[in-house]
């Protein structure tokens, strides 16, 4: 059986922080909150530095600066109308899981934001991982109605992990 999270560590600071366990916990909580099984899905999470995420941000979004988290859904799942819940993906076989997509997190940006917000880095990274996974599942925050739904969903998931409302 394949693990839910496939971790890629490009910066050793992520190993010290325990990104693999944080990402796995966030992913399991996110899927459970959305009534999705934790078996039959796979998510790639990359822990990198600001330079790497800035290059990815430039390549994929045309923005030449680092950001905290980027996500690449394996499939477009956005709903037809703003504020609607995206359609849930179908799980694959536990031995051949369905890819939900990839997430990248930038260490320096995450650490700076956590310090600026006066919260533990692990809590902030957990929130950003949940945020990235919701993007993989078709949630977005471009439209106000979509943003409201996504934020409510994040807050609900984070509460199951004992984390405070980040908004």
CA distances from 114 to 109, 124, 155 (A): 9, 6, 17
- 46 SS3 class: strand
DSSP structure class, residue 87: P
Does the annotation list 124 as a binding residue? no
Does the annotation list 127 as a binding residue? no
Which residues define the annotated binding site for Zn(2+)?
131, 135, 141
Which residues define the annotated binding site?
131, 135, 141
């Amino acid at each position: 059986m394949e693990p839910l999270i496939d971790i890629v560590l490009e910066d050793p600071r992520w190993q010290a922080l325990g990104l693999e366990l944080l990402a796995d916990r966030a992913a399991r909580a996110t899927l459970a909150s959305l009534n999705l099984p934790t078996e039959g899905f796979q998510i790639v999470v990359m822990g990198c530095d600001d330079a790497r995420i800035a290059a990815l941000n430039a390549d994929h979004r045309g923005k030449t600066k680092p950001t905290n988290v980027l996500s690449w859904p394996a499939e477009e799942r956005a709903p037809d109308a703003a504020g609607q819940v995206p359609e849930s993906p179908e799980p694959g076989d536990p031995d051949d899981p369905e890819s939900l997509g990839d997430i990248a997190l930038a260490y320096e940006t995450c650490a700076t934001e956590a310090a600026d917000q006066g919260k533990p880095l692990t809590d902030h990274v957990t929130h950003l991982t949940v945020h990235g996974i919701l993007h993989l599942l078709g949630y977005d925050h471009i439209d106000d109605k979509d943003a409201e739904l996504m934020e409510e969903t994040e807050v609900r998931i984070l509460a199951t992990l004992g984390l405070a409302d980040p908004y």
